[in-house]
């Protein structure tokens, strides 16, 4: 009788181990995490001037600054704190993150090649009295951590700018290390 009681416990353990393994695999697969989060990467926009979207040197990828380009091609524009709330700025920064992921994937082919997000420079279009740049940039940083887990945690600067190209609300550039 004691042996029969062991069987359900054993089966439960097998099921839990399989579920935990699947969850672990999903956490380690940025492509799967994006699917779980409902993120569809857009086409990569062509540079608006004389530069390229990404430069690879050794195992590092330097991504040019991107803005909050929406699926219809329009940008989120205006000054955060005046034209946009901090929450709208956060969402704009998150959208920049999606655009940067698209540029990164276009450059390397598979986001599972990322060893870690190393450095992020976030520029917020804001007036001289605005001080919540880090809260705005968390939209980008939170997305990187959601997609890459601990590999998405990065060094970051969040600064205010008197203006940005095309009056975009946020611009972000990043450096990524490959495996």
pTM of the model: 0.85
- Per-residue pLDDT of the chain (179 residues), as tens digits, is 455 454 444 444 444 545 444 444 566 899 999 999 999 999 998 898 999 999 999 999 999 999 999 999 999 999 999 999 999 999 999 999 999 999 999 999 999 999 999 999 999 999 999 999 999 999 999 999 999 999 999 999 999 999 999 999 999 999 999 99
Record the tokens describing residue 8, joined without a space. Answer: 């359900």
109 part of a folded domain: yes
Count structural domains, the chain: 1
Collapsing DSSP to helix, strand or coil, 120 comes out as strand
23 part of a folded domain: no
Task: Please give the pLDDT value at position 26.
Answer: 61
Alpha carbons 168 and 149: distance in angstroms, whole number: 28
96 part of a folded domain: yes
Question: What is the CB neighbour count within 10 angstroms for residue 154?
Answer: 18
Alpha carbons 38 and 60: distance in angstroms, whole number: 28
Task: Please give the pLDDT value at position 21.
Answer: 45
Q: Environment class of residue 77 by beta-carbon count within 10 Å: exposed (0-12), middle (13-18) or buried (19+)?
A: middle
77 part of a folded domain: yes
Alpha carbons 110 and 101: distance in angstroms, whole number: 10
43 part of a folded domain: yes
Collapsing DSSP to helix, strand or coil, 118 comes out as strand
Q: Which residues pair with 120 in a beta bridge?
A: 156, 174
Alpha carbons 118 and 33: distance in angstroms, whole number: 19
Q: What is the largest CA-CA distance in the chain?
A: 77
Determine how β-strand 114-125 pairs with β-strand 155-161. Answer: parallel
Task: Please give the pLDDT value at position 24.
Answer: 47
Alpha carbons 17 and 13: distance in angstroms, whole number: 6
Q: Distance of alpha carbon 79 from its chain centroid, rounded?
A: 22
31 part of a folded domain: no
137 part of a folded domain: yes
Task: Please give the pLDDT value at position 3.
Answer: 53
Collapsing DSSP to helix, strand or coil, 127 comes out as coil
Alpha carbons 18 and 70: distance in angstroms, whole number: 38
Task: Please give the pLDDT value at position 12.
Answer: 46
Task: Please give the pLDDT value at position 97.
Answer: 98
**In CATH, what number is assigned to the domain containing residue 123?**
3.30.1330.40
123 part of a folded domain: yes
The whole domain housing 109 covers 39-178
């Amino acid at each position: 009788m004691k042996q029969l009681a062991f069987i359900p416990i054993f089966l439960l353990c097998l099921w839990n181990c399989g579920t935990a393994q699947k969850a672990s695999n999903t956490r380690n697969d940025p492509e799967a995490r994006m699917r779980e989060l409902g993120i569809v990467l857009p086409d990569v926009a062509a540079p608006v001037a004389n530069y390229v979207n990404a430069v690879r040197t050794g195992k590092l990828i330097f991504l040019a600054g991107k803005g909050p380009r929406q699926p219809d091609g329009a940008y989120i524009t205006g000054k955060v704190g005046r034209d946009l709330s901090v929450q709208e700025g956060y969402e704009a920064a998150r959208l920049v993150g999606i655009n940067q992921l698209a540029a990164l994937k276009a450059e390397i082919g598979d986001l599972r090649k990322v060893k870690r997000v190393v450095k992020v420079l976030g520029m917020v279009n804001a007036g001289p009295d605005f001080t919540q740049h880090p809260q705005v940039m968390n939209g980008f940083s939170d997305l990187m951590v959601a997609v890459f887990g601990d590999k998405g945690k990065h060094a970051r600067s969040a600064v205010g700018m008197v203006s940005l190209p095309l009056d975009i609300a946020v611009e972000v550039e990043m450096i990524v290390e490959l495996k």
